[in-house]
Amino acid sequence: MTNPKVLISDNLSAGVADLLRDAGFAADFRPDISRSELLNCIGNFDALLVRSKTQVDAPLLACARSLKVVGRAGAGVDNIDLDTATRKGILVMNTPGGNSISAAEHTMAMLLALARRIPQADSSMKQGEWDKKRFEGIELLGKVLGLLGLGKIGSEVSKRARAFGMKVIAYDPYIPEKYARDLEVQLLPVEEVFARADFLSLHLPLAEATQGLINDETIARMKPGIRLVNCARGALVDEPALLRGLGQGKIAAAALDVFQQEPSPNQELVGHPNVIATPHIAGSTQEAQEKVGFEIAQQVIDYLRAGVVRNAVNFISISSREFEQVAPYLELGEKLGSLLGQISRIRVSEVGIRYYGDLTSLNYKPISSSILKGLFQSMGIESVNMINAFSQAKERQILIVETSSSRERGFKNLISVQLRNESQTEWVEGALLHRGNLRLISVDGIGLDSPLGSFLLFIRNQDQPGVIGQVGTMLGNNGINIASFTLGRHEERGEAIGVVNTDSAIPADLLRKIQALPAVQFAARVRLDRK
């Protein structure tokens, strides 16, 4: 891709555009672009860089005819329609750790403000009052801080809270015990965190299971007088339930940086005397803005230039080192999928992919995506790519089964791809030999060894003399040069498979003549040149 075009539609550092331009990209920095202008111009861009202001929704994505990647400078992707982006094959990446320190420090500022009622005292002073008694606070020392989520931000908060002498407990079903012990944090079920915490801080991603997690039922389980901090996602909290908890005194106070409706939050909640509110600024520091902007720009550069995927939220992320390891197998996988799709005669309900040898130790998910991409493109699904291949399978109710095996198969690396339905199975196997030599190793269990070139003739025939000679003569008489002719046989079944690599495509009328040969049971011309 020459000179990819990138639109920056939110307020990132101006140096981000310079970084993109230095990399040979055409960068358009328009942080004040209107919605109508964005809809009109987005079709011209290969990449879009945003923060939380730009709504990357279905109408916008419908206009984005050239868009390949959306980069979110920051962690949250609530403003991006991931399902639509995935269906359209648009990669979405974020920078989940770029503002961790800023968000953690803001959380601590909220904790301290809650404990000492600093904003209320400041407001009172500005009104000419001197009311020491009303603003008596509490110490953090010895208090129990409950963290819901012990990821990067939650971990940084735990370190700072412990420095204040707090006891930290946490709920996170995906964090190993050892990791928590190293932080001197006790992992507990969520019910115990609710029951024991004096302060509760939210650091969970927004998902179906976490939406509205703080509600009437969970508030009822909390310790009376608990203080709540939410610098994560507004939708984690049922705001009417929070107001009821505040009104009943079950929740002593709350500090909120995020809300269900932004930028127009519930004013009854924002204006409550025991609520401290900030306008979604936990990650907004000079340092964080610089960092996440440059990080997402570099990720977009690496993806569009080299295909390296980092911090993807709708595709498997892969490091530069992992990409170097799997890159040679991406073409093999795509060609095997494409070949199988072009020679298959069954209606597919399941795709089985098995990896052998060295491949079992690699991050093979991108290879599976390449296989599905080749398969589905050969089936006429033009919009499929590596990003949306799995979602395309799900939409068509095709089950994908990935497995790996340490069983020796005679090759250091081997990929097996099967198409299945209730009564039939067809499969191919391939391997990558030295110097990037892609080989077809077997078809339906019949062994052979054929290059995977650009143009192939695939034949199933009765295992009898003269077939190879007839086909070779017909190709030669029609000016088709044969690069290689490989034969595989199943003597017990009396079947043979022929794979002919040619220098050019086989005309349709010649294919029909080959199909009409008495010994030929099936013949197909195959193109693997990524046309």
Tell me which residues are annotated as active site. 233, 262, 280
Q: Is the peptide bond before 366 cis (omega within 30 degrees of 0)?
A: no
286: Cβ contacts below 8 Å, ≥ 6 apart: none
CB 153 within 8 A of CB 107: yes
Q: Give helix 508-515 / helix 467-477 axis angle, nearest 10°.
A: 160
Q: Which two tokens stand for residue 63?
A: 């206009």
CB burial string 18-40: b at 16+ within 10 A, e below: ebbeebebbbbbeeebeeeebee
Residue type, 73: A
How far does CA 208 lie from the centroid of its chain? Answer: 17
Q: Which two tokens stand for residue 40?
A: 């009109």
CB burial string 250-270: b at 16+ within 10 A, e below: bbbbbbbbbbbeeeebbeebe
Q: Between the CA of residue 31 and those of 9, 43, 49, 223, 524, what are the distances in Å?
A: 5, 17, 10, 45, 53
Q: How many CB atoms lie within 10 A of CB 275?
A: 20
Q: Between the CA of residue 251 and those of 26, 120, 223, 264, what are the distances in Å?
A: 52, 17, 8, 23
- Residue ranges of alpha helices (H) inside 164-224 are 177-182, 190-196, 216-221
Strand partners, 27: 6
Q: Between the CA of residue 42 and those of 274, 357, 386, what are the distances in Å?
A: 44, 45, 22
Please spell the DSSP secondary structure of 452-511, one letter per residue: --SEEEEEEEES-TTHHHHHHHHHHHTT--EEEEEEEEETTTTEEEEEEEESSPPPHHHH
How far is residue 422's CA from residue 107's CA, in Å, rounded to a whole number?
55
Residue type, 364: Y
At 146, give phi and psi (nearest 5°): -100, 125
